[in-house]
């Protein structure tokens, strides 16, 4: 029954998100898979933790839309596609399924993964609205707003808030201890920022003389790799973020 209800609920949520322009068609399909696996494995407890990540993320994406649309160099704006959804939800879905066999550590990994995804999302969505320029988490040098690896006081507080919301929901549901999930969320977001500042592909458009994360640039000109690995984009870094969150939470409750 959980699997049937999960499929129905996931279908409804994915369809609504697609209709509202939050998800692309591939993103809606990926959300259906993640939602069905979550509800089928962990029931309403898992669904509540999923919604604790998903619903605030949707609302925050609508905050300051005009400013965010202007950040065309980062390639993170607009409706989420399938790869973006899976980067944030595949690890959690896998942990939910494995929790049927391995119990508490994998249930905590599920919550920790979504806590990390929430921390990263809140930090990005709110941090890009902060006044002034963020600084690289590795060098502390000022960098362009929105580029991966940048941190600010507002964005950091937002990341902690995102992790706390998911952790509190997981603890309230009896799914995992608050402290473990909160630590996992913060740790996962830190991994995301460090990878974003160190190994994620950073490109440069010579025509516009700006750093960016897209190729070609929105002006239509090709970009050149300035730092990191050409194949390592934002989706891969987000995947690493959620994996780190899952591992931290699982280790803390094992």
Which 3-state string (H, E, C) describes the chain? CHHHHHHHHHHHHHHHHHHCCCECHHHHHHHHHHHHHHHHHHHHHHHHHHHHHHHHHHHHHCCCHHHHHCCCCCCCCCCECHHHHHHHHHHHHHHHHHHHHHCHHHHHHHHHHHHHHHHHHHHHHHHCCCCCCCEECCCCCECCCCCCCEECHHHHHHHHHHHHHHHHHHHHCCCCCHHHHHHHHHHHHHHHHHHHHHCCCEEEECCCCEEECCCCCCCCCCCEEEECCCCCCHHHHHHHHHHHHHHHHHHHHC
- What distance in Å separates the CA atoms of residue 17 and residue 90, rounded to the nearest whole number? 18
Q: Choose between 207 and 77: higher pLDDT.
A: 207
pLDDT band of residue 96 (cuts 50, 70, 90) is very high
- pLDDT at res. 155: 95
Q: How far is CA 72 from CA 21, 87, 220, in A?
A: 18, 21, 12
- pLDDT at res. 85: 95
- pLDDT at res. 232: 94
User: For 1-22, what is each residue's pLDDT tens digit?
Assistant: 789 999 999 999 999 999 988 8
Q: What is the widest separation between alpha-carbon atoms in the chain? A: 57
Residue 117 predicted with pLDDT over 90 = yes
User: For 155-199, what is each residue's pLDDT tens digit?
Assistant: 999 999 999 999 999 999 999 999 999 999 999 999 999 999 999
Residue 72 predicted with pLDDT over 60 = no
Residues 6 or more apart in contact with residue 33 via CB below 8 angstroms = 10, 93
Average pLDDT of the chain, as a whole number: 92
Given CA atoms 239, 241, 85, 77 in this order, what sign does their dihedral have? negative
Beta-carbon neighbour count of residue 153 at 10 Å? 11
Among 100-114, 154-168, 199-213, the least confident range: 199-213
Residue 122 predicted with pLDDT over 90 = yes
- pLDDT at res. 146: 81
pLDDT band of residue 69 (cuts 50, 70, 90) is low
Average pLDDT over residues 114-123: 97
User: For 216-240, what is each residue's pLDDT tens digit?
Assistant: 877 778 999 999 999 999 999 999 9
- pLDDT at res. 75: 54
pLDDT band of residue 115 (cuts 50, 70, 90) is very high
Residue 68 predicted with pLDDT over 80 = no
């Amino acid at each position: 029954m959980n699997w049937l209800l999960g499929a129905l609920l996931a279908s409804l949520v994915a369809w609504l998100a697609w209709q509202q322009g939050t998800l692309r068609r591939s993103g809606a399909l990926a959300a259906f898979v993640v939602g069905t696996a979550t509800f089928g494995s962990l029931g309403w407890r898992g669904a509540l933790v999923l919604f604790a990540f998903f619903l605030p993320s949707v609302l925050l994406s609508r905050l300051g839309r005009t400013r965010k649309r202007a950040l065309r160099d980062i390639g993170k704006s607009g409706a989420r596609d399938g790869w973006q959804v899976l980067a944030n939800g595949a690890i959690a879905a896998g942990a939910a399924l494995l929790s049927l066999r391995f119990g508490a550590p994998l249930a905590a990994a599920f919550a920790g993964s979504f806590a990390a995804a929430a921390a990263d999302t809140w930090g990005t969505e709110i941090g890009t609205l902060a006044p002034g320029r963020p600084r690289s988490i590795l060098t502390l040098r000022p960098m362009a707003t929105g580029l991966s690896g940048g941190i600010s006081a507002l964005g950091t507080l937002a990341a902690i808030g995102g992790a706390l919301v998911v952790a509190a929901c997981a603890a309230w549901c009896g799914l995992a201890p608050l402290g473990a999930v909160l630590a996992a969320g913060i740790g996962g977001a830190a991994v995301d920022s460090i990878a974003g500042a160190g190994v994620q592909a950073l490109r440069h458009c010579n025509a516009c003389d700006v750093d960016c994360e897209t190729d070609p640039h929105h002006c239509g000109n090709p970009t050149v790799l300035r730092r990191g690995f050409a194949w390592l984009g934002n989706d891969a870094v987000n995947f690493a973020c959620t994996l780190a969150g899952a591992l931290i939470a699982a280790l803390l409750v094992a």
